Each structure stands twice: as structure tokens, then as C-alpha cells.
Structure 1
Amino acid sequence: MLHSKTFNKKTRGGRIQKLVREVYLRDDIYCGALFCKSCEDKSKARLTATASTILVLDTNVVLNQIDLLENPAIEDVVLLSVVLQEVKNKNSSVYGRIRNLIDSPARRFVVFSNEFHRHTYVQTMAGESPNDRNDRAIRVAARWYQSHLGEAVKVLLITNDRENNRKATEEGVSSETIESYVKSLGQPALLDLLVQPASEDVIMEEVEDMRPSKRKVVYPEHKPMSEITSGLTKGIYHQGKLRVNRYNPFEAYVGSESIGDEIIIYGRGNMNRAFDGDVVAVKLLPQDQWNEEKSLSIVDEGMFSVMLCLGLLEGACVQSASLIVHAYAYEFLSRALWLHFVCVLSTISFSLAEDEEEDVHLVPGSADDAPRTSIPAPSSTSDTNPASSRPSGCVVGIIKRNWHSYCGSLEPMPMPAGRGGLVYALFVSKDRRIPKIRIQTRQLENLLDKRIIVAVDSWDRQSRHPSGHYVRSIGEIGDRDTETELVLIENDIDARPFSAQVLACLPPLPWSVSSTDLNKSKRVDLRHLCVFSVDPPGCTDIDDALHCAMLPTGNFEVGVHIADVTNFVHPGTTLDDEASKRGTSVYLVERRIDMLPKPLTEDICSLRADVERLAFSVIWEMTPEAEIISTKYTKSIIKSSAALSYVEAQARMDDSRLVDPLTKDLRNMNALAKIMRQRRIQRGALTLASAEVKFQIDTETHDPLDIGMYQIREANQMVEEFMLAANVSVAEKILKEFPECSLLRRHPTPTKEMLGPLLRTAAAVGLNLDVTSSKALADSLDRAVGDDPYFNKLIRIMATRCMTQAVYFCSGELSPPEFLHYGLAAPLYTHFTSPIRRYADVIVHRLLAASIGIYKLPTIFQDRPQLTSIADNLNYRHRNAQMASRGSVELHTLIYFRNRPTDTEARIVKMRSNGFIVFVPKFGIEGPVYLTMRGDKGGGEWFVDEQQQNIRKMDGSVSYSILQAVKIHLEVSEPKPNRPKLQLTLL
């Protein structure tokens, strides 16, 4: 049966097109019930015969109550195609979550294509809105289900729409609100999962007087979208993504293309209920209010609370009275530890091979996240430098919300009289950028000592706090497994076991190279070569190996052999889809979360010693001066002779008694690497510095036994150089063949403003740094030598944290000059060398295979928007993996110091009006040292010289300077319940 469907569509050119589509209506679409006597197809039936009620959900219930729907108590659900389409159009995140429920064999959710069924399809009536038409379609489908299944089961329409409920009753359709249905289940805890309507926010305000005559307006009203659009067009408002300062949740920034600068937002009042990540419309404040507070303080949680009570951080005039422009609310090893200092190797090249390479510029301490300094640039003409003023503004509207679920705990509170009743509590997120969220719960007693997840529902303008609802518990506060899971959830890391569908894509074990592999004309047999790998100790996912053979000409044949992951991970498979979503493996202190299943990462693809494995090889002919004569790309078969650790490889090279072929190859390769490294530095590649913490973990308890700095060796640098060279060679090859669709990696040149903190510190210690190019900066850093052995390293650390992050991108989206990788001083760069643990490398392998005629290029590479979307996801996943790794280090550092008070040496890296921030080289941590504690009346005794970057007592008896060495005491304290922190005290 055919029906025509007519609708209007606006083209990109602004014209309106009338489209007519024919709809073929069927009557053989199955209902999804196992007990149905009419439907013959039971292959995908999920609704069980034991179900007392079949639920038909309307669109708003799915959109708003997804946390409840994910609870196993909600089963036997029918999702209509009209509902799914609306959800997909309105919220892609919720759509993905509901699709997971549909696809999960453990859940009883079915899809019914009501828009293609002869008895449930409805045509739009004259004057009927699309929303009313869809509501009617939902009611028609619910009524059909009741008729179709008969008296065997009750069919219940779930809707919170009063009009939809009224019409359902009139039409003989059983319907209830979601709250009414949940109450009928007799599980009070489920009520905590319900999203409360925005109109009910006022009920939750128990502290303030809620009488209309007494309530005060806390926040300005958001402008309607029509006014925002008009204001953006006229230049009155400016659009951008709001980023809250990780150090100071009362300060945020909005990058605005319309004015070519960042707009700073001071205070919650000016943020006007915007969350970190929201796309907002901002109005600039008068220019005389663009002043930035010069008296900077270190502020702890208690001071935040006091300021909130005084209203200093809530009002609209905070921009002119910002006492904490750079507040440091440090919890134990707060993100400042890794927001400032990259977790790489001691003093290293800007880009190390594999993951180390990325840590230098993709760390949270990059310019993308570092708190903006408001110390003016040195000026001889005036104490107040007008150039230091930055545009300040206030949020007038939210264009796109970035609300999601947050991890944390409830603020401690006394138990109310009686048990199990409804109470209101404040949720405190682990992420300090998130404001406290008010929730209602019936299980307060069970939640006070738990880490929980809470979702935001709304934020009324008359409420100081957003309203939300409880989602689930993670575990007990302080438990290592709980805190680790919190780190994963907080950074959106998927740590679930791989599904049966994914595992079904793997070849059976045991696996070995077959005769088919050997006979493929496109694969070269390299098993005769002395191939070896060099990795961290205990590495099992070995994705790169090397060889270096002397040629009769006196030149060298040097090969980089990378695990041939794409031989097993094919485009369009469930395995490939899963790897694409995960994006990267995640390395925690005590475990690894794989991008691909372990049979691939640790066995089939891993280039282990003494086993034949498939590889993708880049082979150069090089002169003894490391000049490349020729480059060859080929699929290959190798058999590694040795899987060495960095320590073992270094020991072989250093032991003059060893003259075996493997050791000779190592020495030759190391000699070439030194030349390559020096040449790269001469081109302008940066050699920066940071600190990687290395833990010794108890094999039984998994607690940290020792902590120290990771040592870099020539063996590390040797591997790094050849991985970088392979990545550059592959980038050149794929871009030549596919100039519009290659996946590359770029590192934008930092602006002088980004390098401002480095320049100010350098000037204060008598250094003149040239930042006109990466080469000039590299040379300046080489000349930065002081008496302190840590001096040069500290300067390089400061340079590191001024760098922006490197990102993946599609070559067709940018012009060639924008391809530059600043830190490497490389015009082209990509990732090829880690396909076991990075999906970007999988894509690059496919591009390289197509460029040498092994495979056809997958069709996805013809879709530039989809490629850009993949690149964006890879950037997001890579960044989150880095954050999760650092969160794991923070957790284990806290565990280590909990019972180990320590005295050690530190270096001052930032000045504040009541103290300074220090970096502890031995442990790679950063934190505040107070000279004047909160409430101390002697705070006026100290004077900060911002230009010279020192702090001294007014009487001149004591002074401290930037980069000065000081002795400190480290100890874990818990000034607030559930808030342990590492406290640093001056000795």
C-alpha cells in the first residue's frame, strides 16, 4: 500500500523546495512480543510472556529520563520509529544511549516501525503541527498494540504531557506519567533517577524564602534565541564556547571569532548559569570594567565558601572586585599538577615517539587549559599597563548546553528525622569547574559515604544551584577501585569488556602466519633480517620493531616495522566500529584499557620475539650521515630476534665486550639516530622538559611502594627518532596520493600572548628569550643556563606548558601552511607507528595501503565531513586518555603519601600575594605554599613585586624569588570530609 508524504525543505541557498516521498505501508512488521500469536517473525522478539505491562514511550520521556531507562528495572519497552527519529534529531547523545539499550541482548527493548505499518501510519491533518501529529501517531500505535496483543498483557503509554494524557484517555488508551509508573513499581530508589521538571526547581530551594514577595532574582534572564541571533548578526553579542578555569571555577573564557580574542568572564553572576563547554552568547562589558586584579591570592575551599556567603563571587560586578582571578583551590594533587607539567620523560625532545611525543603539547598544562595570568607585562612607563586589559563580558544566553553526568559525592549533612523520606542534598563534583548541584533523594544514608553520578536537569534563574538527579553509585569514597572508576567515568573512558559481536571478528587462537600470507604478492618476506623491538619493561602490546643492516655500498638499510593491524581490523566491521569509538588505549598506573581486544594487542598483532608476525614496513636506504637515499613502503612478514627493554638495549650498547650482530645493529642505529636528532634540533625542533612519575606497584595489593622520576636513555631517543622519521615519511606519501583526504597531525604555532608567562619569568631571572620562531626559541632555551641544576629544566617546563595541543585533521580542510607541526619543525606529520593503541594510525595504514596499490581506498575517505568528525573524536579521545592517565597518577600519589610525610626540596614557579606555587622535582608535583593563611591578620606584611616576580616582607627581612629553591614538608590532610589533599608547608 502506497502513501505519499509531502514536506518542504530549505536548501543551502535559502530556497524552499517541496519534496514528495512515497511511503510503502506493510502489515507484516512484527511487534516484538515473544507471546504474540499473530506475528510469524520472532527472530528479534524481546518482549517476554511474563511481562505484566508493555511500555510505549513518548519522545520527551526518552529524551529526559534516559538515566531511568538504563536501569534494569525498566524492561519490556516499545520504542516507536517516530520517537527514535525525533530523539535522533534533538539529542544525538541520548539517541546513542537508547540505541545501546535496543542493541543489548540483556535488555528487553524493541523498535516498532509505526511509520511503515498499515494500521499505525497517520497522515498530517489540516492545521496540525508536526509535534501534535507525532503525539497522535504515538497514541495510535499504543492503541494498536493493545488491540494486537489482546488481554494477554497491559499496554501503557508513558507520557508527561498533560494534553497527550488527556487525549489518550479520551481515545481509550491507558496512559500514565513516568513518575506514577515508577511509584507503582514499589522501588523508592528509582524515584531518585527521575528528572524533575524545571518548574519544580523552586520546591528544592529550602534555604531561601520562596515566597514570591521575598525571593530575589539571583541570575539575569536568558535572552530568547531570536534576540540572540539578531544580536550576533549586529555584533552586539559574541558567540563562543565557555571554558571554566580549572584552577578557579569563578573565572571563565569565551573564545570569540567576531572580535578575534578571548572574552574573560568573572564570577558566577556573569557566567549566568553557563556550564563549562556550553556554547554561549556574550555581551561585552564597558571597557572601563576590563581591569584585571593585580593582587593575586592563593584561595582554598574555605575562602571560596566565605566569598560565596558574602556574595563576592555571585554578583554581576565581580569583574571589578575579583579577589581570586587566579585562585588555586587545591585538592590533593589537583589537576594543577598535570595541568602545568607534562607527564613525559625527564628532559626530552619536544616530540617523543609514540605516546610520549604527544604529552609535551597535548597535556592539560598546555595553553589550552592553563590559567590566564593577569600579571601585566613589564612596563617602564606605568604601573598599570593598559595593554594587559582583556575584554570582559557576561553571558546573556545559552545557545547549546553541554550538560552531562558528573562524578563526585554529597556534601556532608546531618541525617534528617526519620529514614527513607525525601530530602534535598547538595552534590559536589570532583571537577571543580562544576557548581554544586541540588538533588532530591530517598536514600541519603546510603549515599553520604559513596562516590555517585549525578545528571543536571535544569537551572532556574532564582536558584543559586542547578537542579539534578541521582544516576547511580560508583562505590565507597577512598576505595582505590572506586576512585579509579571515577577517573574513567569523569573522562568518558569506555572500560567495558568487548562484546561478543566484537570478539566474533577475531581469528581463532592459536594464530600463526599461514601459507596464504606467505604467498601474497604484495607482502615481502623479511624473516631473514635481524629485527628487534625496544620498549618499556613488561610491554606486551609491541607494535613497532626495527632493523639496521649494513649494505655493500657502505650505506645502511634501516627499517621500521609496524604491526599490521588492518589485516585483522576491516572497515565496516563491529570490531572497527568499536575501535573507532574508543579511539585510543588508555594507560593507568596499574592497568591498561585496550582499544582492541587482547588477543589482537598481546598476541596476533604484537611483534613478540621469536614468532612470525605480519607488519607494515617503512624501509630507507641511508648514508652513514643519516641522509635518506630512498624510501620503500611494503606489507611484510617479520620474525623478531629480540624484544628488549630500554634498559637492556642501553646495556648492550654500553658494554664494549659485546660484538654480536644484534648489538652492532643497535650501535649503528643509535649513531644514525644521534645525527638525525641533531639535524632535527638544528631545523628548530624544540627540546622541552617535564617530569614523569614512575611507580613501583605491589603485585598483590596494587598499592604504590615507591615513587620517583623516570629516567631517559639514549635507547629511548633512538627509538623516538626512527618513529618520528617513519611518521614523517608516511605523511609525505599519503598526502601526495590523497591530498584531500589524508589524516595528518598539526601543532599550531603559539602566539606571543601564550608565551607571555614564560617571557615574564625569563625576564625576572635575567634571560632574554627569542620566540620569533621555534628555532629561535630552541636556541634561547639552550642558552638558559644557571647555577641551579634544575634551572634549565624549569625554564623548559614553563615553555612546555605554553604550547597549544597538537590535533588530528583532514588535509582537505586546511591550507598547506597550516599543516605545520611547530614543535617538531616539520611541515608534515601524522601517526603511523602505533595502530595497536591508536585508531588514527589504523586510518593512516589504510591510506598508505591504498597509496601503494594494496587495497582500494574505503568509501569513507570520500566523505570529508565524516573524516573531520572522526578526527574530532580522535582528538577528544586522545585528550581524555591523557587526562585519565594523569588522574590515575594523582590517585596513586595520594595513596603513596597518605602514610609517608616527607621533607623535600622544591622550586618556586609562581608568585601570589599570600604565598607561592612550588614544583617538587623529585615527585613531579605542584602545589601552593601559604605565607599568610586564611584568617591571618598579618597578611599585609608581604609585598609582591610582579615585575621582578618576588615576594618579600615589608620590613625586608625575608624574600622569595621565582625559581628559588625552598625546603617544604609534604603531608596528606583532610580539612573537609571526603576531600583529602596533599598539603605543602614551608620549612
Structure 2
Amino acid sequence: MLIILNHWLKSFSPSGANSPADRNKNKGGRGSKKHVFECYMTLEEVSHGLKRGELIQGQLRINPKKYHEAFIPSPDDTRDIFLDGIVARNRALNGDVVVVQILPRDQWKVVKSDTDCEGSSESENQRENVAQTAQKKTARTHRPDVIVEDQCSDQDELVRRVQNTTLTETGTVMMCITIFPSSFVCQVVYIVEKKHSRAVTGFLKFLPDKPFAMFSPVDHRVPRINVLLADCPEDFTTRPGDYTNTLFICRITNWAADSNFAEGQLHKTLGQAGEIEPETEGILIEYDVDFSEFSDEVLDCLPKNLPWTIPPEEMSKRRDLRKECIFTIDPATARDLDDALSCKLLPDGNFELGVHIADVSFFVGEDNALDAVASQRATSVYMVQKVIPMLPRLLCEELCSLNPLTDRLTFSVIWKITPEGKILSEWFGRTVIRSCVKLSYDHAQSMIEAPEKMFSAEELPPVDPEHPIDEIHQAVLNLHSIAKNLRAQRFSGGALRLDQLKLSFTLDRDTMMPQGCYIYQYRDSNKLVEEFMLLANIATAHHIYGKFPELALLRCHPPPKTKMVDELQELCDQLGINIDLSSAGALHKSLNTTLGDDEYTTARKEVLTHMCSRPMQMALYFCSGVRKDKQLFKHYALNVPLYTHFTSPIRRYADIIVHRLLAASLSDLGLSTQEVQKQASHCNDKKTVSKRVQELSSELFFGVFVKDCGPLDSEAMVMGVLDQSFDVLVLRYGVQKRIYCKSILGLDSFHHRKVGKKSELTLVWTAEELEKPPIEQVISIFTLVEVQLKADGAPMKYSAVLKSFEKWADFHHGFQIEL
């Protein structure tokens, strides 16, 4: 069978710029120090290589569970290009924007895999030899002194990397090609932008007879770091044991090409590992989150005369809505209220429906110190026990927050809309409102669930006497009714929502330690607010793009990775799961089709939702002027051509830019395409960081909860199977953990089999004391198991253990059972 590599692939045979092999030859003469890493190309070489299509630029992603695996997107962004090993990354860290070079063609081995190609005649032994060669090559590229806890790759994962690594030309999928260079598929030749902060949390280890200590980062994707003893605590050399559990922050200052290890300086001593505040501070510093107090220069930008009142000249410029029935619906603990709703029945049976958003841009002027710090922070960061605000609290919680019974400045979108949700007219403008009540989601939910009930004043927060409780109740019911219609229209029109379990905590008021945890319930009151925020964002996107086609700050959601979607579809077909991944709407419909009629239907849907989330890409801000193809504007999940963020300016800087664009549509504007795109890119970075910090905060608190309250028992459902381990979704807590077969007590043996895309593990349990033959338990996707979560000794860490088989298995002599 002939395999033809077309032009896109041919372009990676270096011609102009030096190849890695060439550069190795020129590293120096006799006596020169051998380099561990390749020397970087020059900027000129990189520029030429990118123009000729010989090099690829992209953002590096390192697998957190298998530190030697890394990826960048392919040029057509339908799949990933693989980098195997530390050497291939060439000192780049997770998140860095890098340039990579595919190795010369004489270093490739092209192998056909009979799992992907029909008519393959290659023997099993030949493929096994290739896999064994890969292991040897990979081992040579890894640092010999790296120790990684629970990070070892499963055997079939290594073979998968070797046998299924593919490249594509735009629109062409080379499914039958395995490209296996002498040591890795491609390597980093230049770092365009060091997005990683180079600050990491970790521990110091004393090395006798060395002038430096070894710093071991908690994040195994970062190398070990040499720290000069002079930079360590004064008594570290005499009492190193005192610092065994001390958490430090270290910043990488240099990483030479001839060293396995980076060099760094200690930035700060955080405190004892396992304590929430030191661990939290470490997360914030590591992810470059600015949590410092706002400077006097920034605070000087705020109003001085407090309590502040709206100036009469500003009132005259705005539509006065203070007598309207307008209210907020937020979490009970929320203090930054940036959106409010109104819904008034009109004589003709239609409704005047308004979304009213805090006018933050009134207080955050352009090009002052307050604007500079807000644009740099770009987003508020929400952790379990605290919020790192984008703006000073005077703005977040007072002047901009739409607190009840207080005059506040807003930007409003007001529609005339039918009960069925058809928009008849639309108005944008600056307004002033006076919220009549601060409802929580629980209050609104109670009103929705009891439409006939007469609520008393004692059941609600303070209410404006000009608006009776039953008027507010009826407005909530009308909003709910319209929202249901809008939601039904969105999903029938092809929208998608992938809901994943979200863990929430109850905290002790004094210590802020976790007292309990629960799965957050997404109810009708949440859906009500979400529906009108989406409607406002879509309307605003169309408005600003219509006014400023080259300057609009929009938000797109790219379609999922093609290769991952194809693999998932193949797996689901093999499992007999009727799922359609051809579009967002088809997927949504499939996920909401019944997956059984037992009590575990919801669990199966959660596992399947997680599987479908893997191919999805991140939504991104962009400036409309930098994309010429309007197809690239589209939001995949919402299935709309234009979308933006307008509804949360207190916590997102992107929304402030959108507010300025909206204001300029009514007057003048002083922004450029380059400025908007630069800020859009920065907002993307900070959005990603904020999401990750929030996840780490939740993991931190749950680790403390398991340590203090565990062991915790729960049912779990299998989400994925490898050759020596399997991943489970712990149903009671919504967390995902990996269980390693070699760590299961009482297990006699296990063996793995893979048919097509379906992977299975058979666990063989011994029952000698019961004089029973061994019993087999088959583990595959959707298998239900019993697990126990328990602290595993390391600070903040916990593991999932398959509960002892004798305690809960149903023994049946001579039968193979699946539990």
C-alpha cells in the first residue's frame, strides 16, 4: 500500500533554516560542553521559516498527568501536533507561545497501523518492535533523575502515541500514517512569548556537598530548579529537616541549554504545606494573579465625596427608570450585583422586558491608573473562600453594584417582546434605575415553584414599598415563562449546553474551613437569568458590529477538534450509544435522549457529557477587524453568528470595552483595531487563568475536606479505561479520580483488552478464605463501582481506592459478573 505525503507535510523538510541535526554539528569543537537542549533559532530564521511554512507557531499544552507529553494545535486547528519528552519542549513551559519544527524526513519512520487502515499486511511483531523502539527512544530523551508521583504512562498510551500520531493538510486527514522520528515528532526551536509566570510552588531539598539546594515544584510539568544556598533560609544547611513541609515560591531565572535543571531564586516562604492560606497564596502567585491592594494612585481615581450621589447633569442625559419594577437575582452571598431585570405587561398583551447592567465605564475612565490596573487584571478571580476583584471594592460592592433601594447608573437593553419570545422592537441606552429588591436564586425559585402563593414580607429581603410583593412575584413568573420559550427556541434552533457537576462548599464563618460540600443545583431561577443575559449579549454583539465592523470586541467559540470528534463517534458507535456529533444541536438532542430508565441514568449522562466535553475548544475574545472570514465569528455552542460579553462589567474588562463601544455608537470612539485585539488576547489569557485558579481552589478545599472528614464512601462510574488504570466520576461529590490497578488491595491479577476504540480491564479477585474460585470484574465505560476517598499522606492530596471486593461483591460461583 502506497502512502503519499502531500504538500503540507513536504514543507517540513527544512531547506533554508538549519535543521536540528545541523545545529547539533555546530555546537562547538573539542572540549565544548555537550548541550542537553537545542540552541534556539534566531528571530530571522524563525520569521523565514514561518513564512515558508517550514515552522509552526502555537501555544504549548503539557499533559498534567503525563509530564513528558505536550501538544500544540495544527495549522488547521483540527487536531494536535505531538511533542514527546522534555528535550522536545526545549525549556518551554506550559502555556508558552512557541515555534516548532518537524524533524527532517530522513528521521521519520512511516508505519501503517492495521487498526486504522484496511488491507494492512504488517505483522503484530513488526508493530511491537516499533513500539519497543519508541520506548527506548523516549527513555533516552527523558531526564534520568525525574521522579513523578502517579505520572507514569500506561503501556497502551505509549503505543497509541507511536502508532496514531498524525498530521493533516487543511481539509485532509492522514489517518493511516504513523510518523516516528529518531527521538520525537517535532521540537521547539523558539519561544515567542513566555506566558508561564516562571513562578512555582514547591519544596526545598538539601544536597550534601553541593553549593545549591534542589527545588522540587508541586507541578510536575515544571523542571526541578537549582537554588543557591545563599538564597535559602539561614539555617537551612544546618537544619534542613525543619523545612521538609515548608512551601516556597521559586522563580526560574535561567535555564541553560547544557543543563537538565533550571536555575532560580526563592521568592517567598509561604508557610506549611496543607494549610489553606499558604496553598492559596501559592496558587495566585504561580498563576500571576495580582492580589495586591490597590495603590493610592488607583484609589485617587474614585469619587471622593461619599456617600456619592448621581450628578444632576448626568441624570439629565439618561432615561429615568427609577419608578419601574426592576430587581436583581443573584447568589445569596453575592456583593457585586451587576445585572437587573424588569418585565412589564403592556396593554396589547406583549411585554416590555429590560436587562439593566451596571454602567462601570462611567467610573472607569480611559487611560488612567484605574483603567490600567483593571485592563491588566482583566477579570475578577473567584475562589472558594474569597474573590480577587478586578476593581476596588468601593466600585464592586457600592458605587457600581445595583444594590436595592439605591439610585444606580446602568446601560439598558429594552425589548418589546411577545409572550412566546418574539422580539418586536429593541432599544439601547444609558439609564438610571432603583432596584426594588435583591432576590437570591432561592427566592426566585420559590416564586416559580409556588405561582399562587402570597409571599409575606418576612419571607423576602427588604422591598421597595412602591412595588408590592405580588407585583415582583408576577414579574418573576412572566420572566420565567418567556425564558422557557426562548430556551426552547434556542435548543430547537441548534444550541448546545454541556452541564458538568460543580462542587460547592459550606464554610465555617470564623475559620473559613470547609464544613461540608454538595453538588450545586442548576435550577429554573438560574436558567431564567442566564436566558436574558444571553439575549442581551447577542443583541449587543449585533449592535456594536453593525456600528463598528472593524472594531467590535466579540466572542467566538470554535467547533470541536475534528479528530477527537471522529474518535469519540467511533467509540460511541461501538458501545451502542446513539449519539450524533455532527453539530451542536444534534449533540444536545442526543445527550438529552434517555440513556436508560434506572437510577443511574443521570450518572451515565454525566459521564457521556464529560466525554463530549474533551474535544471542545475554549471560547475566545477577538476584534472583528482581524478576522476576514465571518464563519470564524460564530459561536459553536450557542449556534449564533455573533456573540459578545456585555452583562458583567464589574468582573470582566472585556465587558467594559463593549460598554465603551456601545456608548460610542451613540457618540464618538477613540479605539483602534490593534488596541481592541491586544486587549482581547489578554482577556483570553486571564480568563483561562481565572478558570484554572478557581478549579485549583476547589481541589484544595476538597482535599482538606477529605483529610478532615474522610475516608468518604461513594458510588462512582467509570469514565475511561487505560491498560493499567481507569478513571471514575465520583457521583456523590462530582470529582474525577484515577484508580491504578496495581494499588488495589486483594486483587489477584488484571488484564487489558481493546477492541476497536473500546477498552476493557478484567480484574481478577481472589476469595481463597471463602473457598471460592477467583471472580472476574469487568471494568469498562459506564461500569458502576464503589470507591473510598482517603488522604494519601501528601499535603492536600487524596486518592480514590476501589473498596475491598469481599465487602460488597455479590459472589456467584463460576460466573463472571460486572459490578
- The bucket for the TM-score relative to the shorter chain is 0.7 to 0.9
Contact 1:488 1:495 (8 Å CA) reproduced: yes
2:623 to 810, 815, 818: 810
SS in 1 for 2:510: coil
1:510 to 306, 329, 332: 306
Query: In the alignment, does 2:225 pair up with 1:437?
Result: yes
SS in 2 for 1:922: coil
Contact 2:57 2:97 (8 Å CA) reproduced: no
Q: Give the superposed CA RMSD.
A: 3.5
For 1:637 and 1:227, the matched residues in 2 are separated by 57
Give the C-alpha shift of residue 433 in structure 1. Answer: 1.3
For 2:50 and 2:361, the matched residues in 1 are separated by 47
Residue 475 of structure 1 is matched in structure 2 by 271
Contact 1:747 1:804 (8 Å CA) reproduced: yes
Contact 1:610 1:641 (8 Å CA) reproduced: yes
Query: In the alignment, does 2:373 pair up with 1:578?
Result: yes
* Within-5 A mapping of 1:798-837: 798-815=611-628, 816-837=630-651
For 1:313 and 1:460, the matched residues in 2 are separated by 29
Give the C-alpha shift of residue 518 in structure 1. Answer: 6.5
Contact 1:270 1:395 (8 Å CA) reproduced: yes
Give the C-alpha shift of residue 782 in structure 1. Answer: 2.4
Give the C-alpha shift of residue 329 in structure 1. Answer: 5.4
2:73 to 255, 261, 264: 255
For 2:712 and 2:78, the matched residues in 1 are separated by 47
SS in 2 for 1:967: strand
Contact 1:511 1:604 (8 Å CA) reproduced: no
Give the C-alpha shift of residue 687 in structure 1. Answer: 2.4
* Within-5 A mapping of 1:898-977: 898-899=707-708, 900-933=710-743, 941-945=751-755, 947-952=757-762, 957-974=776-793
* Within-5 A mapping of 1:848-887: 848-853=662-667, 856-857=668-669, 859=670, 861=671, 863-887=672-696
Give the C-alpha shift of residue 665 in structure 1. Answer: 0.8
For 2:347 and 2:301, the matched residues in 1 are separated by 45
Query: In the alignment, does 2:661 pair up with 1:847?
Result: yes
| Structure 2 stretches lacking a partner, 5+ long | 1-29, 116-131, 153-159, 166-173, 455-469, 765-773, 805-819
Give the C-alpha shift of residue 891 in structure 1. Answer: 0.6
* Within-5 A mapping of 1:270-285: 270-276=88-94, 277=96, 279-284=98-103
Contact 2:329 2:444 (8 Å CA) reproduced: yes
Give the C-alpha shift of residue 802 in structure 1. Answer: 2.2
TM-score when normalising by structure 1: 0.66
CA 1:412/1:582 → structure 2, altered by over 3 Å: closer, same or farther? same
Give the C-alpha shift of residue 667 in structure 1. Answer: 0.4
CA 1:827/1:945 → structure 2, altered by over 3 Å: closer, same or farther? same
Contact 2:330 2:439 (8 Å CA) reproduced: yes
SS in 2 for 1:650: helix
For 2:78 and 2:471, the matched residues in 1 are separated by 59
1:426 to 193, 196, 214: 214
Residue 523 of structure 1 is matched in structure 2 by 318
Give the C-alpha shift of residue 645 in structure 1. Answer: 0.5
Contact 2:483 2:528 (8 Å CA) reproduced: yes
Residue 438 of structure 2 is matched in structure 1 by 643
SS in 2 for 1:783: coil
SS in 2 for 1:507: coil
Residue 779 of structure 2 aligns with an amino acid whose one-letter code is Y
Give the C-alpha shift of residue 764 in structure 1. Answer: 3.8
Residue 710 of structure 1 is matched in structure 2 by 520
Deviation per residue, 1:933-961 (Å, 9 max, x gap):
49999766443445333222589833111
For 1:630 and 1:395, the matched residues in 2 are separated by 56
Give the C-alpha shift of residue 375 in structure 1. Answer: 9.2
* Within-5 A mapping of 1:391-402: 393-395=185-187, 397-400=189-192, 402=194
* Within-5 A mapping of 1:109-258: 218-219=36-37, 237-257=55-75
SS in 1 for 2:779: strand
For 2:532 and 2:286, the matched residues in 1 are separated by 35
CA 1:763/1:466 → structure 2, altered by over 3 Å: closer, same or farther? same
For 1:428 and 1:808, the matched residues in 2 are separated by 36
CA 1:270/1:599 → structure 2, altered by over 3 Å: closer, same or farther? closer
Residue 981 of structure 1 aligns with an amino acid whose one-letter code is Y
Residue 685 of structure 2 aligns with an amino acid whose one-letter code is Y
Residue 682 of structure 1 aligns with an amino acid whose one-letter code is S
Residue 591 of structure 2 is matched in structure 1 by 781
Contact 2:704 2:796 (8 Å CA) reproduced: no
Residue 985 of structure 1 aligns with an amino acid whose one-letter code is L
Residue 484 of structure 1 is matched in structure 2 by 280
Give the C-alpha shift of residue 408 in structure 1. Answer: 2.0
For 2:360 and 2:653, the matched residues in 1 are separated by 10
Residue 679 of structure 2 aligns with an amino acid whose one-letter code is I
CA 1:656/1:471 → structure 2, altered by over 3 Å: closer, same or farther? closer
For 1:225 and 1:743, the matched residues in 2 are separated by 31
Query: In the alignment, does 2:352 pair up with 1:557?
Result: yes
Query: In the alignment, does 2:565 pair up with 1:755?
Result: yes
* Within-5 A mapping of 1:887-902: 887-899=696-708, 900-902=710-712
Contact 1:619 1:631 (8 Å CA) reproduced: yes
Give the C-alpha shift of residue 866 in structure 1. Answer: 1.7
CA 1:449/1:810 → structure 2, altered by over 3 Å: closer, same or farther? same
Residue 138 of structure 2 aligns with an amino acid whose one-letter code is V
Give the C-alpha shift of residue 786 in structure 1. Answer: 2.3
CA 1:959/1:387 → structure 2, altered by over 3 Å: closer, same or farther? farther
Residue 960 of structure 1 aligns with an amino acid whose one-letter code is I
Give the C-alpha shift of residue 751 in structure 1. Answer: 3.3
Deviation per residue, 1:155-193 (Å, 9 max, x gap):
xxxxxxxxxxxxxxxxxxxxxxxxxxxxxxxxxxxxxxx
Residue 423 of structure 1 aligns with an amino acid whose one-letter code is P
Residue 798 of structure 2 is matched in structure 1 by 981
Residue 728 of structure 1 is matched in structure 2 by 538
Give the C-alpha shift of residue 719 in structure 1. Answer: 0.6
Residue 701 of structure 2 aligns with an amino acid whose one-letter code is H
Query: In the alignment, does 2:479 pair up with 1:674?
Result: no
For 1:226 and 1:637, the matched residues in 2 are separated by 56
Query: In the alignment, does 2:448 pair up with 1:653?
Result: yes
Give the C-alpha shift of residue 824 in structure 1. Answer: 0.5
Contact 1:268 1:313 (8 Å CA) reproduced: no
CA 1:923/1:294 → structure 2, altered by over 3 Å: closer, same or farther? farther
Query: In the alignment, does 2:155 pair up with 1:386?
Result: no
Contact 1:532 1:546 (8 Å CA) reproduced: yes
Residue 289 of structure 2 is matched in structure 1 by 493
For 2:287 and 2:112, the matched residues in 1 are separated by 32
Identity of aligned residues (%): 33
How many residues matched? Answer: 699
Query: In the alignment, does 2:220 pair up with 1:410?
Result: no
CA 1:291/1:892 → structure 2, altered by over 3 Å: closer, same or farther? farther
Give the C-alpha shift of residue 560 in structure 1. Answer: 0.6
Give the C-alpha shift of residue 282 in structure 1. Answer: 1.9
Residue 108 of structure 1 is matched in structure 2 by none
| Structure 1 stretches lacking a partner, 5+ long | 1-211, 296-311, 335-371, 378-383
CA 1:543/1:294 → structure 2, altered by over 3 Å: closer, same or farther? farther
SS in 2 for 1:688: coil
CA 1:375/1:968 → structure 2, altered by over 3 Å: closer, same or farther? farther
Residue 624 of structure 2 aligns with an amino acid whose one-letter code is S
Deviation per residue, 1:310-329 (Å, 9 max, x gap):
xx99998219999xxxx995
Residue 560 of structure 1 aligns with an amino acid whose one-letter code is V
Give the C-alpha shift of residue 230 in structure 1. Answer: 6.1
Deviation per residue, 1:440-481 (Å, 9 max, x gap):
223334754432222323334443222333333223322211
**Highest CA radius of gyration, 1 or 2?**
1
For 1:319 and 1:294, the matched residues in 2 are separated by 26
CA 1:220/1:742 → structure 2, altered by over 3 Å: closer, same or farther? closer
